[in-house]
Amino acid sequence: MSFTGKVGRPKASSRETLAEAACELFLERGYDATSVADITQRAGVSRSSFFNYFASKSDVLWSGVDERIAQAIRSLNDLHKAATGDAVREVLLLIVRDFEPDPLALALRNAGAMGLDDELVRDTGLRLARLAAAVSRAASAAGVDVIRADILGAAHAAAVLSSLRVWAEHGAGLGTPDAVLRDALATIHHLPWA
Amino acid sequence: MSFTGKVGRPKASSRETLAEAACELFLERGYDATSVADITQRAGVSRSSFFNYFASKSDVLWSGVDERIAQAIRSLNDLHKAATGDAVREVLLLIVRDFEPDPLALALRNAGAMGLDDELVRDTGLRLARLAAAVSRAASAAGVDVIRADILGAAHAAAVLSSLRVWAEHGAGLGTPDAVLRDALATIHHLPWA
DNA sequence: AGGGTAGTTGGACTGAGGCTAACAATACTC
DNA sequence: GAGTATTGTTAGCCTCAGTCCAACTACCCT
């Protein structure tokens, strides 16, 4: 029987080591000019190992946010019919709570230096679409017409992503990200939903 | 002096030939299982030629829509300050006018058979983000607060993309795409903008 | 006939990402 | 202490998208 709970070879290098190496290089040379091989070389691991930790190169920047979004989507799917707009908004607020030291924040702040502008539009779009689809499903389940549900979904998703971006760009001068988001959601509070 | 207006070697293969070959293969084997080499082989051209006609593999599906979106973004950027929501909505309506026989419509209708679901979320997200950014800029220029402008942008962009999707899925049973979009835009007509 | 122009092509190259079989480091069992 | 199960690491292979370029070819014009 096992008692320690730990079996097998221990990890030799952490996700964080790789993420740090990656962020350094992105800042030094830019995102495109940095290959996965470069990252693993600086981190002192083999290229193969990179994909044990991250699903893709861009995952270095987005994995934190993606986890939160995935959790939110699960919560949204579990929402019962007749879910209110408020219930949805509560779920969304959890995405940005305690966001602080995330690689994505760094990327959003230094998008120019990293040569990330195009990349960020692309990647933000993907998350926007995912989140929008989930909110839209919730709205549909609550009886909202399909297209209206899509619009509702996009508006809510945009509030989330936009809050993160604006907050990251302005440093902590705006307060916490969830305060920013709360403010943003107030704008669409009166949309036909509910 | 030239009189015919045509100089140099004439095109041997049309964009359409390639697009048709691509769509056939996407339907037969799925999008991922179809390589660019497969497409050019069926079309009877070299692989190099593909990239003379399309910027990327997914461009086969999206180039039509992308042109319309690019035009719309140009129009939005040219909008004077104090642009009204109505002016923006007029520009957006042009994106979907006379949409009819587009490879994207085929893709949206047969997303399942093409194994495109993930791909489409990703690609739709990109267009959503692009269009949203442009609308958001217009709103910002008109004095709307940044985050609200983002939400406004996303809502309008979602209306466009969603209309296309819903229209493509339902065949012509819904009328023209711009009728669908007009209806969708009515939902957000009263958003704070304007 | 010869030259300018534009379309076509093969081929070499990079970089992401997938896959796998060998190998290494630990904890557990006897 | 020797063996074993488990998990982490790695080299090495592959495919495919996308870029680049130098040769080549078909056409029009003078």
pLDDT per residue as tens digits for the range A90-102: 999 999 998 878 9
Which letter does DSSP use for residue B138 in this model? H
Residues 6+ apart with CB under 8 A from A51: none
- Looking at residue A192, its pLDDT comes to 62
Are A118 and A26 part of one and the same domain? no
Residues 6+ apart with CB under 8 A from B145: none
- Cα–Cα distance for residue pair B128/B182, rounded to 1 Å: 18
pLDDT tens, A44-66? 999 999 999 999 999 999 999 99
Residue A3 pLDDT exceeds 60:
no
pTM for the structure as a whole: 0.89
Is strand D less than 7 A from the beta carbon of A5? no
By C-alpha to C1' distance, D12 is nearest to: A48
Are A31 and A93 part of one and the same domain? no
Is the distance from CB of A151 to CB of B187 less than 8 angstroms? yes
pLDDT tens, A100-119? 789 999 999 999 899 898 88
Task: Name the residue in chain A with its Cα closest to that of B192.
Answer: A187
B108 closest CA partner among B126, B121, B95 = B121
| Cα dihedral B17→B22→B27→B32 (10° resolution) | 180
- Cα–Cα distance for residue pair B110/B183, rounded to 1 Å: 25
- Looking at residue B10, its pLDDT comes to 84
By C-alpha to C1' distance, C17 is nearest to: A56
Q: How far is the CA of B45 from the C1' of D23 (A)?
A: 17
Cα angle B191, B193, B194 (rounded to 5 degrees) comes to 105
Domain hosting B19: range is 11-53
- Looking at residue A23, its pLDDT comes to 95
pLDDT tens, B3-27? 666 787 888 878 999 999 999 999 9
Amino acid at A61: L
Are A69 and A149 part of one and the same domain? yes
B162 and A151 within 8 Å at the Cβ level: the answer is yes
Are B46 and B68 part of one and the same domain? no
Are B64 and B42 part of one and the same domain? no
Are A43 and A69 part of one and the same domain? no
Give the whole-number percent of chain B exceeding pLDDT 90. Answer: 50
Lowest mean pLDDT among A160-164, B149-153, B160-164: B149-153
A147 and B192 within 8 Å at the Cβ level: the answer is no
pLDDT tens, A33-43? 999 999 999 99
- Looking at residue B101, its pLDDT comes to 81
Q: How many CB atoms lie within 10 A of CB B111?
A: 19
Are B118 and B181 part of one and the same domain? yes
Are B40 and B76 part of one and the same domain? no
Does residue B159 belong to any structural domain of this protein? Answer: yes
Average pLDDT, chain A: 89
Residues 6+ apart with CB under 8 A from A14: none
By C-alpha to C1' distance, C6 is nearest to: B8
- Cα–Cα distance for residue pair A173/A75, rounded to 1 Å: 30
pLDDT tens, B107-156? 998 998 998 888 898 899 899 989 999 999 998 988 888 888 888 888 89
B158 closest CA partner among A142, A140, A191, A155 = A155
- Looking at residue A44, its pLDDT comes to 94
Give the whole-number percent of chain A exceeding pLDDT 90. Answer: 51
- The SS3 of residue A102 is coil
B185 closest CA partner among B67, B92, B114 = B92
- Mutate which of B108, B117, B135, B162 to test chain A, going by most A C-beta atoms within 10 A? B162
Are A103 and A176 part of one and the same domain? yes
Is strand D less than 7 A from the beta carbon of B55? yes
- Looking at residue A5, its pLDDT comes to 66
- Looking at residue B25, its pLDDT comes to 96
A128 and B127 within 8 Å at the Cβ level: the answer is no
Are A37 and A91 part of one and the same domain? no
On strand C, nucleotides with any atom < 7 Å from a protein CB are: 4-11, 14-20, 24-29
Per the structure, the count of domains in chain B is 2
Q: What is the DSSP string of B109-128?
A: HTHHHHT-HHHHHHHHHHHH
Does residue B3 belong to any structural domain of this protein? Answer: no
- Cα–Cα distance for residue pair B102/B123, rounded to 1 Å: 16
Query: What CATH number corresponds to the domain at position B84?
Result: 1.10.357.10
Which of B83 and A66 is assigned the larger pLDDT?
A: A66
- Looking at residue A25, its pLDDT comes to 96
